Each structure stands twice: as C-alpha cells, then as structure tokens.
Amino acid sequence: MKHYRERIQAIMPTGKKQSSSKRRPETVTKGAVAADALKQDFPRISLPIRPPYPPMEAKLVEEVPRGDRWQYEPKWDGFRCVAFRKNDKVLLQSKAGQPLGRYFPEIVAALLDLKPTQFVLDGEIVILKGGHLSFDDLLMRIHPAASRVQRLSKETPATYLLFDLLVDEKGKSLVGDPLSARRERLERFIKSLGKQESIRLSPATRSYQKAQQWMTELAASGFDGVVAKELDCSYASGERTAMRKIKRIRTADCVVGGFRYASKGGEVGSLLLGLYDDDGKLNHIGFSSSFAAPERKKLKALLRPYMGGSGFTGHAPGGPSRWSTERSGEWEPLKPKLVCEVRYDHFSGDRFRHGTKFLRWRPEKAPKSCTYEQVKGKAAVGHQLSDVS
C-alpha cells in the first residue's frame, strides 16, 4: 500500500504535509448549494470550442472491460473541469456547465503561468489532504466570500489532473482524433511545461491487471474506481459511448425532492430522494436518514429556501415510511434544486430497497443529470459494503 500512496503523492503538490482530519459535524451544510445558483454566462473566448462545452461522460458498468481496445485511468474523487485558455484569459467549467474559476484561483493562476497561450484541457480538480483525496475540502471552496476562497487556496491548494487535450497550443481542435493520438499529444504537452506543482498528468495504462490493482489497492486513499476509454474513439462531447466507469462502491447522485419530519421534535427525519425517468419526471426512489443529531438540527434551515416546490412530478411518496412505522407520515415537497450523493446496497423495482447513507452534496451536478442510468442493474465490483453510520 505504501507504494501506491507514494505514487499518489508523486503527482500531487509538494510542500507541507497536511494532517488528516476526522469528518466534521458541519458536513451536512458544506456544499448545500443548488447547481443553478452557480450558473453564470461565460465571457466570449476565441477558441475552436467554447464553454459551456459538455464533457464526454462514462457509462456505469459492473466490471472492468478487457481487451486491447481500452485505456484505463483512475476515477478521481473531485470536480470534473474543462479548462480554456486564450492569451490572458482562463475559464474553468464544471461538468454541469458552471464557471469554477472564482473557486479555484490557484488553478487559474497556474494555467496562466504556462508557456502555451492557448489550449483546452479536460481533467479533474482534486485536493489531497493527509495522504487522501478530500472532497470535503473541495466543497469548502463553494462559498460566496472571495476572502475565504483565497485563504483556502493557500491552506489546501488544489491540483488539476489532466486526462485529455481537446485543443492544442496551436489552436487546433483535437476532438475528432482518436484517444490514442490525443493521449500522445497530451503527454508531450505536459512534458513541455517542465516542473509543475498544480498541473499534473493523470496516470493511464493499457494493462488490465494494473487497472484491477487500482480498483483495490488505491481504495484506502479515496479513489472512486476506474475509468476505461476506447483508444480509437474521438471525443464524444456529452455522450457515454466511448467511456466506461467502474465504481468501487455503489453510489448515486440523487435529487432531494422533499423530506419527512422526525416523529418527535419537528426536525427533519429523512431526505426523500428522486431520479428522473426518460419522460423527464422526477420519481421518488428512496430516502436517507443517516444524520448525526448536530447535523439533523441544521437541515431544516438549510432546506427552508426550497420549500413549496413541485417535489416529485412522477411517483411520489405515500404515507409513513415502510421502513419505520414510528416516522411521521408528513412530508414536505421541495423545489428540485439540490443534488446529493448517497451510498446504497441494493436497487430493484425502481427504488432503493433499504435506506441510503448520505455522503455529501454535489453542487456541481445538474439535477436533470440524475437519472436511472447510474443505478439500474449495476453492482459494486470486488467490494462488500458495510452499513457504516
């Protein structure tokens, strides 16, 4: 395991080692921001492709695919980011098409410092803390106070890990080229930059055995799994045709369509989760109630701005929860704005069969992207879940 952690450190920023920290009680409040609250118009930039530009996505599958047609990469636990540079202008775009530059000024500065003055890159913004990838520290950046963002950018600097080059330093679009050619160009691009602290090349391999090692031996450092990409495919913007993702554990991004009150005290008892079907209707598919008492007390204030919405437009919650007869039958519909990631153990019959574990908010994910594609017929690979509270 030490060997793998050293490899992670080798592609992350150097400097003072951050001490690890336990999960803080304010987890439920960090990043609880609606995706559209981060939406802004991008300034015009003179490049062959311009934001908002949907990045290529991956289809969730059960096993790492085999064969010579695949390239394997670690699935990072961070914010997907497409970076655009033209002369003295740098724009960072999230997967949902939101501007990210104000939240990661150190990445903007690092890209401006590069010798090439034009390019478009695809990658992942991550933060390493205490030898582990820290999504909590990424969520801390989604804050309106510029002074706080600037302070955190120095205390917990982010790293931009690159896995694709979409426009080269000559301004030529590479999206029509096969991945094998784009990867070769990306490696040359990175090599030309010299020593970098904030911009790194994400590792890749064509070895199935190496990909399987990543699935298991890098898990303790916070990796999500493995991404497999077809070597001969062009960059399919917004599509899932040429990429596969294999998750180490079962997680899903869900829309919070409402909540139930606790049986006593009037606090929030559980979040009601939803996914969009092919008709664009939001269906209730389960709940999450895994909140410590201090977190639970903060939930109602956090959810209050979204009360009075349409809630679920498809299948809606019925009476009291089938899993707990003590929980109140009352539930409050919400505007479908908030997205959270939950861990689950079984999905069938278009719903989670048991309660889920709340992991974190996902402000960079658009609610409409939360569909059944991520859960139907999928299973975890080589990892047995435990019900950690």
Give residues with Cβ within 8 angstroms of 353, minimum separation 6. 345, 346, 347
Among residues 348, 355, 362, which one has the least CA distance to residue 385? Answer: 355
What per-residue string of b and e applies to 286-306 under the rule 16 or more CB within 10 Å gives b?
bbbbbbeeebbebbbeebeeb
- For the record, the structure tokens of 42 come out as 């991008």
Quote the tokens at residue 182: 């784009």
CA distance 217 to 223: 9
**Token duo for residue 354:** 């048991």
C-alpha atoms less than 13 angstroms from C-alpha of 188 in its C-beta half-sphere: 8
Amino acid symbol at 168: D
How far the first Cα of the chain sits from its last, in Å, is 26
CA distance 100 to 105: 9
Catalytic machinery residues = 75
- For 133-195, give the DSSP string: E-HHHHHHT--S-HHHHHHHHHHS--EEEEEEEEE-TTS-B-TTS-HHHHHHHHHHHHHHT-S
Q: Is the dihedral of CA 378, 31, 271, 222 positive or negative?
A: positive
Of 378, 359, 383, 380, nearest to 32 by C-alpha is 359
- Whether 286 and 273 have beta carbons less than 8 Å apart is answered as yes
CA 166 to CA 174: how far, in whole Å? 5
Run of H or E residues at 111: helix 105-112
Q: How far apart are CA 200 and CA 294, in angstroms?
A: 39
What is the separation of C-alpha 301 from the centre of its chain, rounded to a whole number of angstroms? 25
Alpha carbons within 13 angstroms on the beta-carbon side of residue 240 total 9
